[in-house]
Amino acid sequence: MDVNRLRRECVYEASTPIEALADDLARIESLAVEWRAARKRLFLAGVIAIAAGAIGLAVYYPVGLALIAVGIFLFVRTKSSPRAVANNVGRCEFGKSVAAMLAMDTEPKTPAAIRLAFNPKRDLLSENPLPHRKNGKQRLYKASWFSVETSLHDGTTFTETIDDLVRQRSFTNPRGKSKTKTRIHSLVGMRFAYPQKVYGDVTPLGARMRKEIQVPSTASVRGMEVTGRIVKVKALVTQSGDLARTSSMLALGVYRMLNLARELEARKRAQPKTGGAQ
Amino acid sequence: MTPPLPPDWKCPRRVGFLFPHACLRTTPVGCPDCQNGQIDDPYYARTDRYGYSRYGYYDDDYFFDYGPSYGIGIGTPDAGSMDFTEADGADLVQPGDQFENDMTES
């Protein structure tokens, strides 16, 4: 695991067997705890140094200046323990949950390509004035923070992505204070590139698949595409705590119909051949 | 006490969360799926699939609705199961009760 990159860019990116993935994510969780503690220690030490420096200026100013310099150095040092990893450590829990789900249907040594960003770049999607608000403005951003891809036992290539859709509203309230309100929803995207020799063409099951998929009450299926090779499904989740559950339920819903397709395909093959030479 | 397993033994049970596949473990001891061989079909017996109860079960409607799309004839949900087997034949020659042999009955 590239700890330096995690520290510098707040990104964990690896191609590693599923069984090792959970260990890496557990390590990030413990690093996040360490870094949070280190930030607190450095911040406290910086405050004490600057306070002592202020007193020192009155007594013997070279010592005061030196202490203030030490305090500023300590504040700068807090940057080396990024806050974003600790603030979004729940993403590790989500990653572990996805890894645990995939581990049950994947060869243990099969590599999984994973990317987990704790402080992803926000891409501005739109910016509009907010009516009925003084200086009102609404911005919509997209921030992609999770992707995983691996091959399952049945030959399917599974891909999952999570994008945060951020709505940021800023305005000036009647008291003249500047206010910003942020709402985050998450878009879960899944893609199953299934082997046709196992499942046949599942296109006829597409409508039933959408009907059969169950999601928690805080999520809704927003799109589905079924072709002769690929099943794609998207769901919007309003509570980040339900992401892991939504992921599992989406995959189960898709596979319930894929399993039916496999059964139908097997029965078709088992049918005695009719017709032929006269 | 369970008899020792042959050296090349591989577990024939179905396991999996999303879809069934062969277990192929070399011993059931400590297996989280069959729990030391106590569960015959760990795939079907899972209870952690959230709202999907009877996940691996499809009633006949599914096969009637989608069988034709797969080129399977309507009314033959499972052609294989309609064939008589040796066990069926044994049942015919060894009825469970003695009704047919009891001439005193009307």
What ipTM was predicted for this assembly? Answer: 0.82
Same domain, A106 and A149: no
Is B86 a domain residue? Answer: yes
Torsion of CA A125, A169, A144, A32, to 10 degrees: 160
Is B3 a domain residue? Answer: no
Contact list in B for residue A258 (CB cut-off 8 A) is 19
pLDDT tens profile B57-90: 888 888 888 888 888 765 544 444 444 444 444 4
pTM of the model: 0.80
| Shortest CA gap A192–chain B (Å) | 12
Per-residue pLDDT of chain A (278 residues; tens, 9 = 90+): 788 888 888 899 999 998 888 889 999 988 888 888 888 888 898 889 888 888 888 888 888 888 888 888 888 888 777 888 888 888 999 999 999 999 999 988 889 999 999 989 999 999 999 888 888 999 999 999 999 999 999 999 999 999 999 999 999 988 999 999 999 999 999 999 999 999 989 999 999 999 989 999 999 999 999 999 999 999 999 998 999 999 999 999 999 999 999 998 888 888 776 554 43
Is A33 a domain residue? Answer: yes
Q: Which of A115, A134, A169 delimits the end of a domain?
A: A115
Least confident of B36-45, B56-65, B96-105: B96-105
Same domain, A128 and A247: yes
Task: Give the residue-averaged pLDDT of B17-26.
Answer: 88
Tokens linked to B46: 């899972």
Q: Which helix (H) or strand (E) holds B62?
A: helix B60-66
Residue A37 and residue A41: Cα distance in Å, rounded? 6
Helices (H), chain A: 3-9, 18-59, 61-77, 83-87, 90-103, 196-199, 206-212, 243-270
Q: At what angle do helices A18-59 and A61-77 cross, to 10 degrees?
A: 160
| Shortest CA gap B62–chain A (Å) | 8
Give residue B94's pLDDT: 42
Is B77 a domain residue? Answer: yes
Contact list in A for residue B69 (CB cut-off 8 A) is 204-205, 264
Same domain, A100 and A226: no
Dihedral of CA A203/A208/A209/A210: which sign? positive
Is A91 a domain residue? Answer: yes
Contact list in B for residue A261 (CB cut-off 8 A) is 70
Same domain, A98 and A126: no
pLDDT at B99 over 60: no
Same domain, A20 and A110: yes
Nearest CB among A153, A263, A264 relative to B21 is that of A153
Same domain, A110 and A188: no
Same domain, A75 and A135: no
Same domain, A213 and A147: yes
Tally of domains in chain B? 1
pLDDT confidence bin for B33, thresholds 50/70/90: confident
Q: Closest chain B residue to A265 measured between Cα atoms?
A: B70
Q: Which of A115, A130, A156 delimits the end of a domain?
A: A115
Give residue A243's pLDDT: 94
Same domain, A128 and A65: no
Give residue B23's pLDDT: 85
pLDDT tens profile B44-65: 888 889 888 888 888 888 888 8
Q: What is the extent of the structural domain holding B18? A: 14-91
Is B101 a domain residue? Answer: no
Give residue B39's pLDDT: 87
Q: Which helix (H) or strand (E) holds A124?
A: strand A123-129
Is A214 a domain residue? Answer: yes
Helix, strand or coil for residue A259? Answer: helix
Residue A168 and residue A128: Cα distance in Å, rounded? 11
Is A174 a domain residue? Answer: yes
Is A90 a domain residue? Answer: yes
Same domain, A77 and A204: no
Same domain, A110 and A185: no
A72-84 burial by CB neighbour count: b if 16+ within 10 A, else e? eebbebbeebbbb
Q: Which helix (H) or strand (E) holds A186?
A: strand A178-193
| Shortest CA gap A104–chain B (Å) | 5
Nearest CB among A248, A262, A271 relative to B72 is that of A271
Q: Which of A95, A115, A135 delimits the end of a domain?
A: A115
Q: Do B19 and A104 touch (CB under 8 A)?
A: no
Tell me the residue type at A8.
R
pLDDT at B98 over 50: no
Nearest CB among A204, A259, A272 relative to B69 is that of A204
Contact list in B for residue A253 (CB cut-off 8 A) is 52
Same domain, A145 and A214: yes
Q: What is the extent of the structural domain holding A187? A: 120-270
Averaged pLDDT score across all residues of chain B: 72
Tally of domains in chain A? 2
A78 within 8 A of A43, measured Cβ to Cβ: yes
| Shortest CA gap A274–chain B (Å) | 12
